[in-house]
Structure 1
Amino acid sequence: MRVLSAWHQYAFVIRQLTARELKRKYARSSLGILWSILNPLLSMAVLSLIFLNMFRRSIENYPIYYLTGYLVWQTFTLATTSAMTALPDNKPLLLKVRFPMDIFLLARVYTAGVNLVYSLIAYAVMLIVFGISFKWTMLLAPVYLFLLFCFSLGMSYLLAVACVFFGDVRHLYTVLLTLWMYCSALFYPVSQLSEFMQTVVRMNPIYAYISSLRGAVLDGTLPSGLVWLQMLCFGILTLLLGRTVFKFYRKKIVEFL
């Protein structure tokens, strides 16, 4: 009973921290949380205007093709970049209140999940607008997104530890994300790349989630066995690794802060 009571309290704290993060994010915005809906739509509109003619023949329903990849990428980057600085940002609260440090990371990853839910509202509307019919493979989308969140949380653990001891990690990660984005095939077809680059992209963890979700929504197809293995390994193993590293450095993190 004590364990259940403690986790109930922790869940409450996570919800409160998430609400705080959302309020802080949209504090000076007139539209507030609506930007979670407008951002993917505006990005889709801009990229579609730029690349639609270029990829019209090779990609059917290009706006949805891009929007699907963008939502996965946005969720991952929002989760990891915000969670990376969660411990230094909450230093006063972390040192005064006896809560598990994980809560601060979980709250920021959870915030990215809430942001995704709002974005999916816009996504559902766009599917209707572009006449994308329902396919039973869409029912597996929550599985892909769950594994994405496992991978994001695992990366968040690793980045949070690194950021405490090496502050420059946040700047290096920003540069890495730029390269990572271009290797994730957000706005171009992988088939137009050289064989070597196709291999590089297909080894990219984020592309496994993007391609699986695109296949489910646009083509009604399932991932291959290799892609399933990639998603499971990247998601579960990264989470276990991140959690293990975080536990190992827990005391040192408190001492360093």
Structure 2
Amino acid sequence: MWQRLKKHQFLFEELVKRDFKKKYKRTVLGMAWSILSPLLTLLVMRLVFTQFFGRDTPHYTTYLFCGNLIFSYFRESSNEGMSCLLGNSKIFSKVNVPKYLFLFSKNVQTLINFGLTLCVFFLFCVIDNITFTWKFIFLLYPIACLVVFSLGIGLILSALFIFFRDIRYLWTVFLRLLSYLSAIFYTIDQYSKMGQYAFYLNPIYVFIRYFRKIVIEATIPTLEFHLLLLFYTAAAFGLGCWMYVKYNHKFLYYV
């Protein structure tokens, strides 16, 4: 895979440039929206939920930001990745190039946006009197897993979208449900032990929980927690790669 990416490096770079120009075309603030959008969402969530859920939650702004940061990246990555094949069908139907190249180029854009927002997140941590410790280095693990996990979901969605265009509408509804099940603006302390364990069936919650453990609680998750994160990542990426290998030859007939 990496050898083929290197072989088509020029095309990959041009795709990334094209996606950036297309996304911010005719906007006054340009890339600033990459930071403003999650910040405005955070502001609205804080105004709405503080009185209901945040009264007894320490560092509630940072708590909210952790959830919003992870979920926003996943939502953007999956939505952008879903239509990457269909949107570039005129290219791969005429030129023999690796089709996952289009998905990877989309994720470079979303990853840069995530990096910019992450810098603002650390600034908010300072404002919220969060103590920075050496344990913050462990955030590299969930970030790396999140990127690969999102790539895997993007591979799955983009392949399904070629055959079933209804996936876009179903995925929008699913993301809404997923946001409510990821404990972004509330805690799970009020649930029973069994109910709390059920949240770990949601990979996005696991990513968010990892961030909160490091940033707010200053504790390193257990080995089992790391393995669970790795399992979700490997499962999503493995399934996505399998779908591309299995149905790669059929994509041309449906675009």
Corresponding residue number in structure 2 for 1:109:
107
**CA displacement, residues 65-106 of structure 1 (integer Å, 9 cap, x when unaligned):** 111111110111111111111111111112122211010011
**CA displacement, residues 138-172 of structure 1 (integer Å, 9 cap, x when unaligned):** 10111101101111111111111111011111111
Long gaps (5+) in structure 2:
none
Q: Does 1:16 align with 2:26?
A: no
Long gaps (5+) in structure 1:
none
Amino acid at match of 2:57: I
Specify which of 38, 48, 59 is matched with residue 40 of structure 1.
38
TM-score, normalization by structure 2: 0.93
**CA displacement, residues 32-68 of structure 1 (integer Å, 9 cap, x when unaligned):** 1011111222112111112223333431111111111
- With 109-118 and 52-61 compared, the bigger mean Cα shift is at 52-61
Specify which of 155, 179, 182 is matched with residue 181 of structure 1.
179
Corresponding residue number in structure 1 for 2:205:
207
Specify which of 141, 149, 156 is matched with residue 143 of structure 1.
141
Q: Quote the sequence identity (%).
A: 30
Runs of 4+ with >6 A deviation: none
How do 1:44-123 and structure 2 match up within 5 A?
A: 44-123=42-121
Preserved contact between residue 34 and residue 117 of structure 2 (Cα < 8 Å): yes
Q: Does 1:126 align with 2:128?
A: no
Corresponding residue number in structure 1 for 2:223:
225
Preserved contact between residue 157 and residue 246 of structure 1 (Cα < 8 Å): yes
How do 1:148-167 and structure 2 match up within 5 A?
A: 148-167=146-165
Preserved contact between residue 37 and residue 121 of structure 1 (Cα < 8 Å): no
Amino acid at match of 1:58: D
Aligned length: 255
Q: Does 1:31 align with 2:29?
A: yes
Alpha-carbon separation, structure 2, partners of 1:50 and 1:128: 23
Q: What SS does the corresponding residue of 2:8 show, helix, strand or coil?
A: helix
Corresponding residue number in structure 2 for 1:191:
189
**CA displacement, residues 148-199 of structure 1 (integer Å, 9 cap, x when unaligned):** 1111111111111111011111111111111111100111111123555433
TM-score, normalization by structure 1: 0.92
Amino acid at match of 1:94: F
- With 11-20 and 97-106 compared, the bigger mean Cα shift is at 11-20
Preserved contact between residue 58 and residue 189 of structure 1 (Cα < 8 Å): no
Alpha-carbon separation, structure 1, partners of 2:12 and 2:127: 36
- With over 3 angstroms needed to count, the CA separation of the structure-2 counterparts of 1:21 and 1:55, relative to structure 1, is same
RMSD: 1.8
